[in-house]
Amino acid sequence: MAAARSPSTPSSNVLILDGGLGTTLEDVFHRNISTPLWSAKPVDEEPEVIIAVHLAFLDAGADIVLTSTYQCAFNTFDRAGYARADAERIMLESVRLALEARRRFLARGSGNNGARTPPRVAISLGPYGATLYPAQEFDGFYPPPYGPGARDGADKTNAFPLDTDAGRAQEAAAVDALAAFHLERLVVFAGDAEVWGAVDYLAFETVPLVREVRAIRRAVARLYEMKPGLAAKPWWISTVHPDGHSPEKRADARGGWVTATEVAESVLLGDDEDEATPWAFGVNCTALESLPHILKDAGGVAKRFAELHGRQPWLVMHPNRGDVYIPETQSWKGTSREGTPWAKDVGDIGRVALQSGCWEGIVVGGCCKTGPDEIAGLKQHRFIL
Residue 329's pLDDT is what? Answer: 47
CATH number of residue 374's parent domain: 3.20.20.330
Query: What backbone torsions phi and psi does residue 256 show, to the nearest 5 degrees?
Result: 80, 175
Residue 298 has pLDDT above 70, yes or no: yes
Distance, CA of 138 to CA of 61 (rounded, Å): 29
For residue 216, which of 175, 250, 171 has the smallest C-alpha distance? 175
Residue 259's pLDDT is what? Answer: 97
Q: What is the pTM of this model?
A: 0.92
Cis upstream peptide for 145 (omega within 30°): yes
Per-residue model confidence as pLDDT tens digits over 205-240: 999 999 999 999 999 999 999 999 999 999 999 999
Distance, CA of 213 to CA of 264 (rounded, Å): 10
Distance, CA of 30 to CA of 23 (rounded, Å): 9
For residue 166, which of 251, 274, 258 has the smallest C-alpha distance? 251
Q: Are 67 and 122 in contact (CB under 8 A)?
A: yes
Per-residue model confidence as pLDDT tens digits over 326-344: 544 445 565 546 557 889 9
Distance, CA of 182 to CA of 216 (rounded, Å): 6
Residue 327's pLDDT is what? Answer: 42
Distance, CA of 364 to CA of 62 (rounded, Å): 10
Distance, CA of 343 to CA of 98 (rounded, Å): 24
Residue 129 has pLDDT above 50, yes or no: yes
For residue 262, which of 204, 211, 206 has the smallest C-alpha distance? 211
Per-residue model confidence as pLDDT tens digits over 140-166: 999 999 999 866 666 788 999 999 999
Residue 245 has pLDDT above 70, yes or no: yes
For residue 87, which of 101, 105, 103, 69 has the smallest C-alpha distance? 69
Residue 80's pLDDT is what? Answer: 84
CA contacts within 13 A on the Cβ side of 324 = 6
Cis upstream peptide for 134 (omega within 30°): yes
Per-residue model confidence as pLDDT tens digits over 74-108: 998 888 888 999 999 999 999 999 999 999 999 88
pLDDT category at 33 given cuts 50, 70, 90 is low
Mean pLDDT value of segment 375-384: 77
Burial of 232 (0-12, 13-18, 19+ CB in 10 A): middle
Per-residue model confidence as pLDDT tens digits over 246-274: 999 998 888 899 999 999 999 999 878 89
Residue 341's pLDDT is what? Answer: 84
Could you tell me the CA-to-CA distances from 125 to 30, 45, 237 in Å, in that order?
Answer: 24, 21, 9
Residue 134's pLDDT is what? Answer: 85
Distance, CA of 284 to CA of 299 (rounded, Å): 16
Q: Which domain holds residue 303?
A: 2-384
Residue 120 has pLDDT above 90, yes or no: yes
Could you tell me the CA-to-CA distances from 79 to 21, 82, 133 in Å, in that order?
Answer: 22, 8, 10
Say how many domains are in the chain: 1
